[in-house]
Each structure stands twice: as C-alpha cells, then as structure tokens.
C-alpha cells in the first residue's frame, strides 16, 4: 500500500507542502496587517490594543477555524468515501451551533466558560453520529445528503426554538450569527476557549491518515493491513466534533470550506486521502484567511458576513458537484 | 416635553462627539430617534462621520481608532445572555470604558418615541455638562 498514488501526483509532495505552509503564513501576516480601513498598521493611541485584542484573535481564529473546517471536510469525505461529506452538509455544523446555543441559554456557558466549546462539541458529535448511523459508509451519496438535510433541519429548528424560548430580545440577531458565521469583533476570550479543542481535534484527525489510506483500498484490505475500523470511526467522530464544535461555538457556521478545499486539492495530492488531510488543514486556513481579507478589502465596515461570502462562493461549487455526480445520484 | 429644549444649530462640528454602541455592534445614525436625542443633548453623532446610515454596524477597530468623546452603551454587558452581546463584553470596550467617558443608556429609552426619551436626553445633557471641561476638538 506504500505510495501507489505517487505516479499520478502532479506536484511533488514536499513542494506542495512548502507552498501551502508559505501561503498560510503570508495570509496570516496579511490578516494582521489589514484593518477596516484597508492595509497597514493601526494609527491610533490604542494601536497596541487593536493589534492584540482585535486583529490577533481575528487572524488566529481565521487560521484555526479554517484549518478545522478543511481537515474535517477531508476526513468526512475520506471516511464516508463520498464527495459531499462536509461538516455543513452532513449536519455537524448545525449540531455544533445547537450545542453552543443550549450551553449559552441554559446559563452553563456563563458559569463554566468551557461549557461553550464543549456544548458545540457535544452537538457536533451527536449530529455526526446520527448521520453515520442513518447513512453509514455504504449508504451512498443520496442517503448521506438526505440524512444530512434531516439532521441539519432538526438542529436548526431546535436552535431557533431555544432562541425563541430564551428571554432576550436579540434572538433574531443571534440566529444570524449562528447561521452565517463571522470572525468580526471576536476576542481573545473566544480564541483561548476554542483553540485547545480545535488543535486537539486536528491532531486526532491527522492520525486518520494511515487508516484512511488503507480504507481507500476497501474495508477487507484495510482490516488485513491491521486497521481497526471501530477505532477509526471513533477517531473520526471525536476529531470532527472537536474541530467543528470548537470552531462553530465561537464563530458560527461558516459553510463550504470543508467541501471546496479537499476537492481542489485531491488531484494535487494524487488522490491520497492521508496526504489530503494535511493539505486540507493548511488550505482550509488559507481559504478562510483569504475570504476574511477579501471581505475587509471589498466590503469594509462589516456589512457583509464571512459565512455569507463563503456560501456565495460555495453554492455554485456545490451545485456543480451535484451535477457532476448526478449519474451516481440517479438510480 | 418642555424639558427638551432645542439648541441652536451653529458650530455643530465643534460639538463633542458621541457614539451609541448596542448589542451586536450596532449603532444609530442620522434619521434615528437616538441621533436626534444626541443632537438635543449637544452631541455630534460620530456615526455621521463614519458614514453610517440610520442603522448600521460599527467595527471595534474603527471605534478604537477614533473613540468618541462620549461612548453611549445601550446595554449592560451582563444584561443579556446571548452571543449577540459578546461585543459589549469585549476587552476593547472594557478598556474604552476605563479610559474614556462612557455612560449606559438602556436602548429601550429611545427605541420608540415615548416620554422615556426625555430621561435619556437629560442623562446625555448631564454627561455633556461634565465634558465641558475639555471636549476634544475634532
């Protein structure tokens, strides 16, 4: 099973990896150097505060949330062997938002701050487990999408129910936050809450590299190669729940990053699911940081939300994917 | 309503500035009741300078780059248990509250044109008096 894909690879792996790391670091620096009025360091009495409490959490959350969504998408697509496996499509994100909302409105998040990302994690895990139970690895694309739609709709309905029942007049504003995520005006409080959980989840998902490579040869071969299928599923569910749960709990739902990134990279890594994980981790960060930069340069003043931008870019891509896989979808 | 005395309009660009900061980073600009209240109390609404319409968002960095002479918070940070109010708990707003003048005037005071608006204007006018010592010239 060693390197059977290497011949079809277009770019040598070390080169691709180096390019992705360089682009990630460049975009991180650009993000720190961009303010609401354009490019440059802040020119104000409070410039230190702006750098540490406004721009740094925004840039680092962009990095970590993008990486989380990218690797979660690559893991779900690899494990489910399904091109439409994505945290937003399979309901993981909607579940995470529900978990975070419950944590906030029961008052748990106010008394135990860590309850916020843990609530997101629990919601994401519940949604992912439900979809895997409904569709599984053999359910086919159509079953997976239908299961994802059902779980997403249920989670979104319960989120709006929770907000309706809560005693605050800002339910509509909050619903917008959860449905259309944003990095604007997040603070180091949210960064420190979610970062450890996101990083731990990314580490779990990176450990899926070998099992996913083996699984791409079929379950029997994978078992013969010593892959523990139950452990693989546990890693997948825990890893996606931690990455997507942590990310969504502090930024809301940012759709389609996990869908687009693995698809663009797959030919570049020679269709190797294991390498795709590392590449998607970096490219997810690149895509989210770039989208957030574009947002600030094209629509200054925070008029456009990040989740709206990725949805506008991602929807045509999703439709194209549906069209290109239609032969498999229609029985 | 006799308490709401109309002030002369001249020299408005030398008036001290104020900015309303609400849950979700929202603010009120020209054409809103809150904007009229600021004017009546003798403040120039910074939202006008920032090019914000009747209602809009003000980003934290824009607020920190050019803080108003008076920051008018429309809610207490802990008043509402919602992510929408995270902006009021942001370290930058806490810093602004410590280093600059700020007051809290509940948003329901000027959500609708009720007699409560008069109370809001009175509180703003009191804050305006306190600023007399040295309003920042724009």
- What residues of chain B have any CB closer than 8 angstroms to a CB in chain A? 23-25, 51-52, 56-57, 59-62, 64-67, 80-87, 89-92, 95
The residues, ordered by sequence, that sit 6+ positions from A137 with a Cβ below 8 Å of its Cβ are A79, A80, A81, A219
- pTM value is 0.90
∠A279-A69-B81 over CA atoms, to 5°? Answer: 155
Specify burial of residue B55 (Cβ count, 10 A radius: 0-12, 13-18, 19+): middle
CA distance A185 to chain B (A): 6
**Which of A185-199, A222-236, B85-99 tops mean pLDDT?**
A185-199
pLDDT at A107 over 60: yes
Helix (H) / strand (E) containing A34 = strand A34-35
Considering only the beta carbons, identify the residue of B81, B90, B95 that sits closest to A185. Answer: B90
Distance CA A84, CA A142 (A): 9
Read off the DSSP letter of residue B137: P
pLDDT score, position A35? 86
Distance CA B95, CA A246 (A): 27
pLDDT at A58 over 50: yes
Q: Residue A177 is encoded by which pair of tokens?
A: 């936050």
Q: Could you tell me the end-to-end alpha-carbon distance of chain A, in angstroms, rounded to an integer? A: 33
- A226 in B contact zone (CB under 8 Å): no
The total number of residues shown for chain B amounts to 138
Residue in this structure with the two tokens 């697509």, named with its chain if needed: A77
The bridge status of strand B17-21 relative to strand B44-45 is: parallel
Q: Could you tell me the end-to-end alpha-carbon distance of chain B, in angstroms, rounded to an integer? A: 31
Q: How far, in Å, are A43, A189, A195, A222, A293 from residue A63 at the CA level?
A: 25, 16, 10, 33, 12
pLDDT score, position B9? 54
Using an 8 Å CB-CB cutoff, list chain B residues near A36.
59, 61-62
Main-chain dihedrals φ then ψ at residue A182, nearest 5 degrees = -160, 150
Q: How many CB atoms lie within 10 A of CB A132?
A: 20
Residues 117-176 of A with CB under 8 A from B: 166, 168-171, 173-174
| Mutant choice from A98, A117, A170, A175 vs B, greatest count of B C-beta within 10 A | A170
Q: What is the pLDDT of residues A65-89, one digit of tens each?
A: 999 999 999 999 999 888 888 999 9
Residues 8-37 of A with CB under 8 A from B: 35-37
Query: How distant is the alpha carbon of residue A23 from its chain centre?
Result: 19
Q: What is the pLDDT of residues A145-174, one digit of tens each?
A: 899 999 999 999 999 999 988 877 888 888
Do residues A146 and A266 touch, judged by C-beta distance below 8 A?
Answer: no
* Helices A188-206 + A229-251 axis angle, to 10: 160
- A292 in B contact zone (CB under 8 Å): no
Half-sphere exposure of B1 (CA within 13 A, CB side): 4
Average pLDDT over residues A268-287: 94
Look up the ipTM and state it. 0.84
Distance CA A249, CA A241 (A): 11
The bridge status of strand B70-73 relative to strand B101-104 is: parallel
Main-chain dihedrals φ then ψ at residue B18, nearest 5 degrees = -140, 155
Read off the DSSP letter of residue A6: G
The bridge status of strand A38-39 relative to strand A34-35 is: antiparallel
Contact B64 A49 (CB under 8 A): yes
CA distance A101 to chain B (A): 8
pLDDT score, position B114? 76
Distance CA A26, CA A175 (A): 33
Q: Which of A134-138, A187-191, A282-286, B1-5 has the lowest mean pLDDT?
A: B1-5
Residue in this structure with the two tokens 């980073």, named with its chain if needed: B25
In chain A, which residue's Cα lies nearest the Cα of B78? A110
Question: One digit per residue, pLDDT tens: chain B, 138 residues?
Answer: 445 555 555 567 778 999 999 888 889 999 888 899 899 999 999 998 888 888 888 989 999 999 999 999 988 877 778 888 889 999 999 999 999 999 998 877 776 777 778 888 888 998 888 886 554 444
pLDDT score, position B7? 52
pLDDT score, position A3? 47
Rounded to the nearest 10°, the torsion over CA A291, A294, A296, A297 is 170
Residue in this structure with the two tokens 């379950």, named with its chain if needed: A219
């Amino acid at each position: 099973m060693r390197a059977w894909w290497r011949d079809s690879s277009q770019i040598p792996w070390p080169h691709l990896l180096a390019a992705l790391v360089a682009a990630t670091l460049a975009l991180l620096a650009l993000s720190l150097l961009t303010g609401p009025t354009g490019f440059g360091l802040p020119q104000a009495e409070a410039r230190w505060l702006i750098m540490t409490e406004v721009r740094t959490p925004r840039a680092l959350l962009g990095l970590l949330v993008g990486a989380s969504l990218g690797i979660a998408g690559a893991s779900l697509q690899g494990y489910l062997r399904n091109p439409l496996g994505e945290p937003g499509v399979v309901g993981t994100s909607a579940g995470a938002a529900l978990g975070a909302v419950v944590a906030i409105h029961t008052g748990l998040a106010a008394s135990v701050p860590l309850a916020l990302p843990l609530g997101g994690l629990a919601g994401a895990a519940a949604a992912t487990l439900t979809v895997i139970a409904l569709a599984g690895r053999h359910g086919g694309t159509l079953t997976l999408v239908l299961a994802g739609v059902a779980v997403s709709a249920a989670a979104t309905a319960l989120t709006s129910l929770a907000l309706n029942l809560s005693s605050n007049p800002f339910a509509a504003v909050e619903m917008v936050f959860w449905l259309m995520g944003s990095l604007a005006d997040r603070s180091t409080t949210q960064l420190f809450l979610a970062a450890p959980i996101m990083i731990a989840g990314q580490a779990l998902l990176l450990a899926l590299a070998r099992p996913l490579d083996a699984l791409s040869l079929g379950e029997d071969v994978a078992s013969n190669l010593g892959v523990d299928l139950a452990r693989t599923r546990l890693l997948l569910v825990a890893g996606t729940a931690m990455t997507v749960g942590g990310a969504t709990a502090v930024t809301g739902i940012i759709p389609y990053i996990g869908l687009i990134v693995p698809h663009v990279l797959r030919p570049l890594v020679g269709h190797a699911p294991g390498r795709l994980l590392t590449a998607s981790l970096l490219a997810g960060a690149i895509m989210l940081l770039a989208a957030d930069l574009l947002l600030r340069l094209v629509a200054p003043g925070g008029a456009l939300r990040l989740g709206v931008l990725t949805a506008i870019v991602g929807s045509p891509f999703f439709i194209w994917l549906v069209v290109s896989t239609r032969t498999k979808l229609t029985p | 309503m006799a308490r709401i005395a109309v002030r002369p309009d001249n020299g408005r660009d030398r008036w001290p500035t104020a900015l309303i900061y609400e849950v979700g980073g929202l603010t009120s600009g020209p054409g809103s009741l809150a904007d009229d209240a600021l004017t009546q109390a003798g403040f120039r609404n910074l939202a006008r300078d920032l090019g914000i319409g009747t209602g809009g968002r003000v980003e934290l960095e824009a607020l920190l780059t050019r803080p108003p002479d008076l920051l008018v918070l429309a809610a207490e940070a802990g008043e509402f248990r919602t992510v929408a109010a995270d902006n009021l708990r942001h370290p930058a707003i806490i810093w602004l509250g410590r280093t600059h003048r700020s007051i809290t005037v509940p948003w329901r005071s000027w959500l609708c044109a009720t007699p409560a608006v008069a109370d809001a204007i009175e509180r703003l006018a009191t804050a305006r008096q306190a600023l007399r010592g040295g309003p920042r010239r724009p």
